[in-house]
């Protein structure tokens, strides 16, 4: 089934001094529908730019992107980016307002998604009263409540402590397995990528190209400390470091 198709995409940012920064130059990538794909690559190579182009937050100079299903898209950033003056429930309602989902379904949808991320008792709380990990759970709930076909995740666990990140990785995999969502995940953490992904695509320095895509075939659940994780790490790191 067609998933995310990124076809011959180029992007150059203009800079103050003229010239500009060519971040992507004819990049193509196919992600199968329902796949969990992770992108790793050197800092500044264009990973966030790629997610922004897929989400339509930036426009491409050349090439195009197609999405599976109705193209409904959820985005989870490194920071939760919640509306501080709205409760957890209101934050989700705000996201639903941008969709075709009938208003009469909002309440049940919000109840279901908040329960899924384990925050049922916090629906009427304001973000500032929640820990960083709980806020990131709300951000995940907000992305999920719109019934996305695609979830784009830009280093979503990078600012969390390791225990919280581990819990969230576990929950994310469960959610992904229960709902047929195509996930494109960006991380600096190669071991995190191995624990989560079906396939890891390694980007070069900018203008970014795909150096290699490595299928992770070991059975889930996987741990950061597994021997097989260490083997994949060596393989991926050596390609990344070329
Ligand atoms: N709006 C912008 N205007 C000009 N240059 C930009 C803009 N956004 C990003 N860049 C530049 O484009 C390049 C790619 O940035 P991007 O954030 O996509 O990389 P990244 O791989 O996500 O980086 P990191 O891993 O450090 O988060 C960088 O050199 C960055 O400075």
| Atom of ligand 1 at shortest range from CA of 46 | 18
Arithmetic mean of pLDDT, 193-221:
96
| Atom of ligand 1 at shortest range from CA of 58 | 1
Arithmetic mean of pLDDT, 9-37:
93
DSSP state string for 122-145: GTTS-GGGS-HHHHHHHHHHHHHH
pLDDT at residue number 179: 86
The pLDDT of residue 242 is above 80: no
Arithmetic mean of pLDDT, 16-22:
85
Confidence at 34, pLDDT banded by 50, 70, 90: very high
pLDDT at residue number 15: 86
Helix, strand, coil abundance in the chain, percent, nearest 5: 35, 25, 35
ipTM score of complex: 0.98
Identify the residue whose C-alpha is closest to ligand 1 atom 10.
13
Residue to mutate (ligand 1; options 9, 11, 12, 13; most atoms within 8 A of CB): 13
* 3-state SS class at 66: strand
Cβ-based neighbours of 166, under 8 Å, separated by 6 or more: 224
pLDDT at residue number 187: 97
- Per-residue CA distances from 193 to 131, 153, 157, 168, 228 (Å): 24, 12, 11, 13, 13
Confidence at 241, pLDDT banded by 50, 70, 90: confident
Element (H, E) at 104: none
pLDDT in tens, 133-185: 999 999 999 999 999 999 999 999 998 899 989 999 998 999 999 888 999 99
Identify the residue whose C-alpha is closest to ligand 1 atom 20.
44
| Chain-centre distance for alpha carbon 224 | 19
pLDDT in tens, 96-141: 998 999 999 999 999 999 998 999 999 999 999 999 999 999 999 9
Confidence at 240, pLDDT banded by 50, 70, 90: confident
Confidence at 18, pLDDT banded by 50, 70, 90: confident
pLDDT in tens, 39-86: 999 999 999 999 999 999 999 999 999 999 889 999 999 999 999 999
pLDDT at residue number 16: 81
Of 175, 205, 181, 194, which Cα lies nearest the Cα of 233?
194
Sheet holding 18-31, edge to edge: 18-31, 4-15, 62-66
């Amino acid at each position: 089934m067609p998933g995310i198709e990124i076809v011959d995409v180029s992007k150059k940012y203009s800079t103050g001094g003229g010239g500009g920064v060519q971040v992507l130059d004819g990049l193509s990538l196919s992600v199968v529908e329902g796949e969990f794909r992770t992108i790793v690559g050197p800092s500044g190579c264009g990973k966030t730019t790629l997610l922004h182009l897929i989400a339509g937050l930036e426009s491409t100079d050349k090439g195009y992107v197609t999405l599976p299903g109705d193209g409904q898209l959820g985005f989870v950033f490194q920071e939760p980016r919640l509306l501080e003056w709205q409760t957890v429930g209101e934050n989700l309602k705000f996201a639903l307002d941008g969709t075709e989902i009938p208003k009469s379904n909002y309440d049940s949808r919000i109840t279901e998604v908040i329960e899924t991320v384990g925050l049922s008792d916090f629906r009427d709380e304001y973000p500032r009263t929640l820990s960083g990990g709980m806020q990131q759970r709300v951000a995940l709930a907000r992305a999920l409540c719109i019934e996305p076909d695609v979830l784009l995740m830009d280093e979503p666990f990078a600012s969390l402590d390791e225990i919280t990140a581990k819990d969230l990785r576990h929950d994310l995999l469960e959610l992904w397995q229960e709902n047929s969502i195509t996930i494109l995940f960006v991380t600096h953490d190669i071991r995190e990528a191995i624990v989560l992904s079906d396939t890891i695509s390694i980007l070069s320095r900018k203008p970014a190209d795909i150096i290699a895509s490595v299928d992770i075939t070991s059975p889930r659940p996987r741990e950061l400390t597994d021997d097989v994780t260490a083997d994949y790490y060596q393989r991926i790191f050596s390609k990344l470091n070329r």
